A and B are shown apart, each in its own frame.
Chain A
């Protein structure tokens, strides 16, 4: 109960003192508050980049224990994905071009499949 009275007395005293602050000091205090609030807002990351920003910071400062592992892992996976997509989307076209040339060739398809011909050519070269 005694503590409550002391707290009320301090509050009253502070309020009275605040009212006595001159205009210039009040203006500077107000500016400092606005600046502090602005900085606080700037440090809050945007939604989309939130995790990458944290990851970068974690990598830089070594703050997040798993970040050093999962960021390169995620980059590697993304690269594998891109490479795989590029390779397999192009394969059908490449093979089709080979097929066109093979089917138009003056040697028949059988020649490229005949094991005995292959062996015969090798034998005749010896």
Chain B
């Protein structure tokens, strides 16, 4: 009885850390993907087989959602996949966290942040241009205006 119980407890103790380090099922290689998956994930064709299984798993979920999106959103995904896959694990985690935080805001506030991103981009571009140094801060809110 004691030996059986000991074996059960030992098996559970060994299994829990195995789960917590994020073991996942074996994910398919590039050649095993369906034609649809390969089409969506085409920007990652060369890197795919070198990705860890957990990264593949998430990218396959992206490919699964892809057909439900608008053509514009699909184009964004395709253009961003490579850059996304090159980010470090920590950066991807931070981006997800910030995205979720932004989506917790009310719609008008979210829209305001998006407009500020446009203004900020303009501000950065102006700062980078040597012939037109910008010293004044950009507008506090609202859509960016051409300068």
Contacts and interface: CB of A to CB of B under 8 A. Distances in A.
Interface of B: 1, 4-5, 8-9, 12-13, 15-16, 19-20, 22-24, 54, 57-62, 64-66, 69, 73-74, 76-77, 80-81, 83-84, 87, 91-92, 94-96, 98-100, 102, 113-114, 116-117, 120, 123, 137-141
A51 B99 contact: no
Contact of B12 (A77, A91, A123, A125): A77
Contact of A81 (B16, B24, B94, B113): B16
A98 B76 CA distance: 15
Contacts of B16: 77, 80-81, 84
Contacts, number: 129
A96 B57 contact: yes
Nearest to B114: A107
Contacts of B83: 109
Contacts of B123: 120
Interface of A: 50-51, 54, 70, 73-74, 77-78, 80-81, 84-85, 88-89, 91-93, 95-109, 111-113, 117-118, 120-121, 123-125
A92 B5 contact: no
